[in-house]
Amino acid sequence: MWHIGGWHMATRRGYTSINGCVAAISVDTGKVLDIEVMSSYCPTCKRLQTMPRNFEYESSKADHICQCNFTGSSSKMEIVGASRIFLRSEKNRRLQYTQFYGDGNSKAFMSVKDTYGLNSMTKFECIDHVQKRVGSRLRKLKTKTKRLSGKGKLTDNFIDRLQNYYGIAVSSNVGNLTAMQQNVIAALYHCSSSNKKPMHGQCPIGKESWCYFQRGVANGTKCFTKYAGLSNDVLNKIKPVYLELCDKQILTDFDRDVEALMELRASWTSMGRAPAGFKHHRVPQE
């Protein structure tokens, strides 16, 4: 079951959405199995508050069915919606959801994982969520560490580029854990390289490599990068945080999830549709 949550207007600082919905979608067929629409606002209730207490008021109140079915912050809509869908699945749909495809740190999953018994559900992550962990960890590090951000250091552009390569390294080595680990480590040095300081020794070789330097070597041409790379000082500061996400146990979980999701993506593509979040395997532009 593919779990998707959405809001009426994106939630942002200082703003709370009053409407939201959660959908349960079959990854095998693409059909919507169930949907929960939520609102913390009822226009009729709001209008009744300002009406004089007369016949029209009493008539409207008697006929009114309140549209408000949720109280709380918009960030909790996904959790509540998922819980409602799972709790009624056996009674209304005569089925149990056994696999949950969603965000890596999804609170919605934690709210439903024991619906049919202790740990009765398996959680999978899509490749976008996998690689975004890299960005989240490095941005936290940049915020906490003095003199780590700025030109020629750990910028948002560098983080975006590195997490993209991390995703490519994972998805291009599904089923080969050793190669996956080598590639995600190589991605750090690849992105940290410059024309004056190339560090592509661990990058995959050959004309089909995702590394522009190694493709150039295989084709007998010189390739250059427009990026300034990172100094050794900055590289050494981010290396421990990044290498935590290169641990074999973490990559083992990613390998299982990505392999399953790539198979599902293929089945969706054959039907001419694909859910948001499936990332196409491609060589990024330098």
The yes-or-no verdict on residue 13 having pLDDT over 80 is no
Assign 167 a pLDDT band (cuts: 50, 70, 90). confident
Q: Report how far apart the first and last C-alpha atoms of the chain are (Å, whole number).
A: 36
Assign 229 a pLDDT band (cuts: 50, 70, 90). confident
Instruction: At 4, give phi and psi (nearest 5°).
Output: -130, 130
- Name which of 66, 2, 1, 10 is nearest 38 in CA terms: 66
Question: For the segment 81-127, what is each residue's pLDDT rounded down to a tens digit?
Answer: 999 999 999 999 898 988 887 665 568 888 888 999 888 888 776 66
Distances from the Cα of 98 to the Cαs of 101, 113, 115, 124, 177, in angstroms?
A: 10, 9, 10, 11, 26
At 217, the amino acid letter reads: V
pTM beyond 0.75: the answer is no
